[in-house]
Structure 1
Amino acid sequence: MIDTPAAPGALPFAVQLKALMDQEGRYQPKLGGLRCLESAQDNGLRMTTKLRELEVRDLLSLTRFFGFSSETFSLAISVLDRFLSVMKIQPKHLSCVGLCCFYIAVKSSEEEKNVPLATDLIRITQSRFTVSDMMRMEKIIMEKLHWKVKAPTTLRFLRLFYRHLQEQLPHESEKTLSIERLEAQLKACHCSFVFTKMKPSLLALALLSFELREQHDPESLLAIITLCLLLQIKDGDLVCVRELVGKCLAEYATAKCSRPNGQRLRWTISGRTARQLKHSYYKITHLPTIPESAN
């Protein structure tokens, strides 16, 4: 059975936080598997962190292509990283694995009417595998993850912390935070392998802390300190991750990162293919930019 916990609804912050924290450790990628990935040589024979990052960027662009939600993308990356941490795959299989993780997330997060056909996904990405290959790979992924899909992602923590801060801060400080900008920053962080080994709660808090420090809002930073104490996060850990967030966002903002190959992505579709797809599908040829701050 697929693990799909109920939506938190209007439950108190403390209750929602405890529910997420109780699950967080069980859904973390295996550190041993991530370290193997990190130590792999880029010789075309083994999966590497660079290949993982390129696949995530493709999935981000594919998410934009279909107009899917941030939840879908974050869940796809969670499924991908968890699978890569327990299975040694060959680079030639990565596109199939990535697309299957994306498809699993789409079917778990999007309305049924918006779920594309597997044949459409294969055609758009110009993949060389078949629908049967996808179905077999999807089954392998689900079995390795014990059919548990709905993880407590960084996005869920980020939205929970954001709502909590909005309730705690004075009206003037509320305006300094934009959830759209924070979610865009998180997507950029998902593209970097360095964050795969971090707890979602820590990364979410580091993103909020980074944004508030950039806006020089001391009153809001006091609220971050309170959250830090509540989560039992050491100040040194928060500072370290916050610095990594700043470095990641600076690199993501460069033209080279925004347009991975300086050309159209490999899955940009032809006119003939476009006519065979739903009219709602549209072209995205580069990664999204992060919105400017409200200030």
Structure 2
Amino acid sequence: MIFIPVTGDSFRVLPETPEQLLAKTAELVHIPTIFGYTTDDGTWMVPDSEDDGVSYAEFNFILNYFIEIYFPPSQRVELLKRVKNLYLPSGISQSSLSRVELRTILINMATDFSMAAYIAKQAMLFSKASTTGTYVFQFDYRPSYSAAPLWYGVGHTDEKGFVLGLPAGPYPFAYPNTTAEDRYVADLMTTLWSNFAKTGDPTPQPLNWPAGLRWPSFSDDPRRILVIGVEPEVRNFDKEQAVVAWTGNSTTSMPDSGGSVKAHLGVLWFALFFTCGIVRKVSIL
């Protein structure tokens, strides 16, 4: 993820980076872990208050801004090349992509960059270092009560209430307006998380609903994740290329915690909305 813990000084959060700590296998406490992200986790980083997509100029501006803020100069040129090769369709000119298509690509990119690639990377490191289970999920259900625009999709933190079972109760904490689908997904998640808390395995026995559901460990080959929704399913992890594109290596490296990666995301959010408004006005003129 792009939230990097401060290390190595009197105000540190961790004594060393997570990778350095994981390398000390003799000191590890082997505890089962669950990692996860939502399908459109990066939507909040994409400015489109008019809901009309983004122009190619805005697309390039935001992408370059991401890279300049969070990565050192020595990595930027190669990273930009890797990322464009991964996300932009080959052989298609920029003029043939609609504003909405560019926005969708930007959302996928922001989701991988801000959450999915680094969460998966961390899960890979944990699965290699630990002797206990490591589980990864993708939350793929948009709550019926979501107040976000439809183009936000399944956004950041949409899964939180479901983990607590709030769409299904208990009173007085239950959400007041929910659907049967909301309550089903809430029941599914509370069952999985309760099993995990009790046994270290979300599905110590295959679930009866849906029939035979078993959440495999991320250490299995091939790596698989649980996609959580009204029709949950186990899928092969398909973001290996994104992990490589953003982290430089699928198993060993992550950006360090120094320099530009410490920029505050609140500043990023404000700057993107402010400057993209300027870009939009200039392009109209």
TM-score (norm 2): 0.28
Q: TM-score, normalised by structure 1?
A: 0.27
Larger Rg: 2
Q: Return the structure number with greater relative CO, CA threshold 8 A, min gap 6.
A: 2
